[in-house]
Amino acid sequence: MGRNPIDQSSGIRWKPNPALDLPMYRQIEAYIRQKITTGEWSAGYRLPSQRALAAAMGVNRSTLVTALDNLAASGMIEGRHGGGTYVTGSSWHSLAHASLPNWSEAAQEGSYYPNLPEIQQINQAEFRPGIIRLGTGELAPELMPNAAFNDILQTLSCRTRTLNYIEPQGSLELRKALSLHLQTSGIQASPDSILIVSGSLQALHLISVGLLPRGSAVLLEKPSYLYSIHAFQSAGLKLNGIPLDEEGLDLGHLDRAIQIAKRVSSENGDESLPLLYTIPSFHNPTGGVMSRERREQLLSLARSSGISILEDAAYQELWLEQPPPPSLKAHDLEGRVLHMGTLSKAVSPGLRLGWLVGPVPVIRRLADIKMQTDYGTSSLAQEAAAAWFADGHHASHMTWLRPELRKRKAFMLALLQQHFHDIAEWTSPEGGFYIWLRFSVEPLSMRRLFHACLDEDVLIHPGYLYDRLDTKHIRLSYAYASFDEMERGLICLAHAARKLL
């Protein structure tokens, strides 16, 4: 972890200066002392490992240890049984009888689950210089419409705008643009039935706390993106995974799960029906597409059983050869389907811009909660997004992007054929970003594979992030790594896998 000049996991960007008169270990001591006395490293804080600290500061381990020993002697830090060096609770502080806040304990309180450790590691490691990201769910910087955004900013710089608060559902200009844009997918949605959100993750969060009672069931594909985040679990919802076949959700399983959920609800004396979360087009992580027939059967099952559907259309537009079957929302004449879209996958994740389409009472309720959560999405992001659609950038970007993604997909498939043909299986996706690689050899620990690759600065997304019991898959993405990185990364991955076998 410590080989990078900026070590994100230690968070330290400071180095002692060898040109100064003060010895290096004294400089380090002063630096850490200042971190502690200003309270940034509060009581109970666990210092980064000696290895990580020494690497981040560019010093020998022995120099660091001298500094740490001095700090320990003055009572500011202490080693603990079981390892680790911690800021001490009280004795260093000059005020007698002071009771120090222990934020490290407080940070374990609170009702929200932390991210899975691997997700935290991935979130951090993604910003390590030189890391090869083989599974990342976003476009490479060079595939993003940088020139178009410069045009948009140029245009916006000549306009007057509102820097004030925006109305609860989001900018009307943007909702009008989206209403038109959704028509291209066969979805009729007036601006009143659209809520602008700060990325579709926020839509999930709002739905989880705003529409679904604690303890209620959410049905979903297994594996699913939704297993890799805690938005629903933190709201006390139970995830119930349904297996997939080649055409999508297994409807026999789904039907049985609905019946069970209904029985449980009725035993608890409530009438609530489960919600189905689905990614019908270019599924995350499998890359699969739900067939047209399966979509119709699913809507029919939803009608007969009474369940509602949350359709995640994040990847819908990222088809490579031909568009996927029409979205579930396009065939919904009852307001049974909530439909989520986003600019994060095809345009820019950093913009944090998504939308939710649904019946007016749902949209109003969620807009009210959104106002309580963040007072609306950034007006600048909304203004840029409205211009993105209105000025025709979206259509031309998609036309440019598809062949680029086709080339990358073909390149990754060729590498897989070359290096993995005897140890893994895969299918060629028709769109989206992902190849769901299945190792066909055993025993091979995905956890060990993840760490072995990370040690070589190659970041992969193990399958258990998307299905806790998965032991065979990793999610690969051809959207992020450069051709050269793909080659080096996949060779490293194949090597690590063979070594672990």
Footprint of its own copies on residues 234-263 (CB under 8 A)? 234-236
**Should residue 4 be labelled a site residue for its own copies when binding is judged by CB under 8 A?**
no
**Cβ-based nearer residue to its own copies, 199 or 341:** 199
Interface with its own copies, residue 199, by CB under 8 A = yes
- What minimum distance in Å lies between the beta carbon of 61 and its own copies? 22
User: Binding its own copies by CB under 8 A: which of 294, 352, 397, 461?
Assistant: 352
Q: Is 89 left (phi over 0), alpha (psi -120 to 50) or beta?
A: alpha
Q: Name the percent of the chain in helix, strand, coil, to the closest 5.
A: 45, 15, 45
Structure tokens, 108: 């374990």
Contact by Cβ (8 Å): 208, 236? no
Q: What minimum distance in Å lies between the beta carbon of 421 and its own copies?
A: 32
- Contacts of residue 210, Cβ cutoff 8 Å, sequence gap at least 6: 365, 366, 369
The only residue of 60, 162, 396, 428 in contact with its own copies, by rule CB under 8 A = 162
Shortest Cβ distance from residue 384 to its own copies (Å)? 6
User: Does residue 37 belong to the site contacting its own copies (CB under 8 A)?
Assistant: yes
Closer Cβ to its own copies, 361 or 443, answer by number? 361
Choose the stretch contacting its own copies; rule: CB under 8 A; options: 77-85, 194-202, 261-269, 438-446: 194-202
For the segment 456-495, give every residue that binds its own copies (CB under 8 A): none
What are the counts of helices (DSSP H) followed by strands (DSSP E) for the chain?
16, 17
Strand 217-221 vs strand 238-242: parallel, antiparallel, or unpaired? parallel
Q: How far is the CB of 438 from its own copies (least distance, A)?
A: 27
Find the binder of its own copies among 75, 350, 392, 403 (CB under 8 A): 350
Q: Which window, 64-72, 76-84, 276-284, 306-314, contacts its own copies (CB under 8 A)?
A: 306-314
Tell me the C-alpha distance between 327 and 325, whole Å.
6
164 counts as binding its own copies under rule CB under 8 A: yes
Window 55-74: residues binding its own copies (CB under 8 A): none
Amino acid, res. 17: N
For the CB of residue 417, give the shortest distance to its own copies in the complex, in Å. 29
Cα(38)–Cα(458) distance, rounded to whole angstroms? 37
Q: Which is nearer to its own copies, 303 or 499 (CB)?
A: 303
Residue whose CB is less far from its own copies, 53 or 444:
53
308 belongs to the binding site for its own copies (CB under 8 A)? yes
Inter-axis angle of helices 117-125 and 446-455, nearest 10? 20
- Measure the CA–CA gap between 222 and 242, rounded to whole angstroms: 5
Q: Min. distance of Cβ 427 from its own copies in angstroms?
A: 27
101 binds its own copies (CB under 8 A): yes
- Closer Cβ to its own copies, 378 or 427, answer by number: 378
- Would you count residue 341 as binding its own copies (CB under 8 A)? no
For residue 156, state whether it binds its own copies (rule: CB under 8 A).
Answer: yes
Tokens linked to 449: 């594979």
Residues comprising the chain, all counted: 501
Spatial distance between the Cα atoms of 312 and 279, rounded to a whole number of angstroms: 5
Interface with its own copies, residue 372, by CB under 8 A: yes
What span, in angstroms and rounded, lies between the C-alpha atoms of 121 and 349? 19
Q: Work out which of 255, 335, 402, 438 binds its own copies, going by CB under 8 A.
A: 335
- Is residue 13 near its own copies by the rule CB under 8 A? yes
Does 230 contact its own copies by CB under 8 A?
A: yes
Q: Name the phi and psi angles at 103, rounded to 5.
A: -70, -25
Q: What residues from 410 to 439 belong to the interface with its own copies (CB under 8 A)?
A: none
Q: Which of 15, 253, 365, 402 binds its own copies (CB under 8 A)?
A: 365
Contacts of 235 (CB under 8 A, 6+ apart): 205, 208, 209, 212, 214
CA 308 from chain center: how many Å? 24
Q: Is 41 in the site for its own copies (CB under 8 A)?
A: yes
Q: Does 202 bind its own copies (CB under 8 A)?
A: yes
- Put residue 312 in one of left, alpha, beta given phi > 0 → left and psi -120 to 50 → alpha: beta
Decide: is 392 part of the binding site for its own copies (CB under 8 A): no
Report the distance separating Cα 463 and Cα 437, nearest Å: 9
400 is a contact residue toward its own copies (CB under 8 A) = no
Which residues lie below 8 Å from residue 497, measured CB to CB, with a gap of 6+? 423, 424, 439, 441, 444, 449
Residues in 260-279 at the binding interface with its own copies, rule: CB under 8 A: 272-273
Binding status of residue 141 toward its own copies by CB under 8 A: yes
Phi, psi of 475 (to 5 degrees): -95, 120
